[in-house]
Amino acid sequence: MPCPSPVQLRALRRRDPVLGQAMRRLPAFPGFPDASGRRLSHWQSLARAIVFQQLAYKAADTIFQHTCALTKGRGLAPPKDFLQIPLPCLRAAGLSANKAASLRDLAAHIEDGRLPIRSLGRFSDERVIAELTAVRGIGVWTAQMFLLFKLGRLDVLPTTDLGIQEGLRLLDGSAKRPTPKEVEKRCAVWAPLRSVGSWMMYRVVESARAAPQADF
């Protein structure tokens, strides 16, 4: 997977000195994808993303593990086998009706070839998003997370992501979070490493949460 060179990272810090200051005190960008992303197949990564939508991590992870346990073997059943799991079993694992339907639709798209899952890594970012958002339950944000954390693309900017919006608010000392359009405009200077800037915004938020609060 591509990883930015030290020269590219220095250029990014020069283009955005405010971000550059934050990068000097925050953890170094580790590169994408992370270890968890490398362990999962494309099918499993996307299925997991659907399960985790709008749920706390612990609850979502429990449901995903229960879903994996519905068939023999490690991990989630392959799409062909997954489609044979009765809906009541999926619901009993903790999946909502909508998420069960979304997982089935994803499996069907892969199985019948509508989603060329093995070719996604060769497609442009725009085509990956278009291919994935044709599946029920996968929106632009989920597709962008796949680009970031599974395919390791370096110039992705999820403008609707609340973590990135909050990170920018903290970075710039603003009173309110920027809108998606404001995020896009503000972060244009990060190209072609907008993924790096996005990752840093998550770390900005984490750092602010971990900082000790004044006790008045």
Catalytic residues: 161
CA atoms within 13 A on the CB side of 114: 13
Residue 52 sits at the vertex; the CA angle it makes with 194 and 74, to the nearest 5 degrees, is: 110
Please list, in sequence order, all residues whose beta carbon lies within 8 angstroms of the beta carbon of residue 166, skipping any fewer than 6 positions away.
177, 201, 205
CA atoms within 13 A on the CB side of 6: 0
Under 8 Å between Cβ of 10 and 187 = no
Nearest partner of 103 among 149, 66, 73, judged by Cα: 66
Helices 97-111 and 42-52, packing angle to 10 deg: 160
Q: What share of the chain is helix, strand, coil (3-state, %, to 5)?
A: 60, 0, 40
Q: Give burial (CB, 10 Å; 0-12/13-18/19+) of 88.
A: exposed
